[in-house]
Amino acid sequence: MNSYVLKLILYVSNFIAVLVSVPCHEFAHAFAAVKNGDDTPKYTGRYTLNPFAHFDLLGLVMMIVFRFGWAKPVMVNPSNFRNYKKGAIWVSIAGVLANLALAFLFCPVAMIVYNNLIANGFSSTDWTRYLKVFLWYICESMFYLNISLFVFNLLPFYPLDGFRLIDSLSTRRGGAYWFLYRYGRYCLLGIFLLSYIADRTGLYYINVIGVIRDIVAYPINAFWGLFI
């Protein structure tokens, strides 16, 4: 199969996965906020699955090319929550729970597509082989992208959801909290650089997100492997 066509299929597949996964993540934040009493996402146009309401252009490009990126944060007003702590916790974790649910649902789909369309290989005259690969890449991208979003956003660095969760649970904010707040962006930059170096050198174990992603993916694959 033509390697250039395969690369194009991969990028298009990633793009489709991003178009689905990121709006679901951001809408989940908005949904949690509204259900806890804050209608700010509705007023700011974020209570929607429309991808164009959520994307940041540079973050979108980064996500398609490197599978790491960002969207525009959903604006909420915690003072409107009926229960401040409960609302803050649910809004913090809603996005990553949506990603985990999508990954869990697309894992068996990817397995079924692979077993039925890919595993037996292709004949040289099979004109549908690119379509089969395209379908598999989409399912695989949906699985691994959502696992990556789950892992990445749970990192405890400001301004990610993991830090928001710590913030909502913290009653005493010591030095570690302020370090994560002040230097979180630099820590994330370091993680991005390690991922880039890992891709270029093959040093898999310095890719922090990749390693954790595979650890999280393993039990999901194992579970669905019992049935498929």
Report the distance separating Cα 167 and Cα 85, nearest Å.
Answer: 10
CB 83 within 8 A of CB 89: no
Catalytic member of 13, 26, 142, 164: 26
Report the distance separating Cα 196 and Cα 73, nearest Å.
Answer: 25
Report the distance separating Cα 49 and Cα 55, nearest Å.
Answer: 11
Q: Is 17 helix (H, G, I), strand (E, B) or coil?
A: helix
Active site residue 26: yes
Tokens linked to 53:
């309401």
Tokens linked to 129:
């082989």
Which residues have a catalytic role annotated?
A: 26
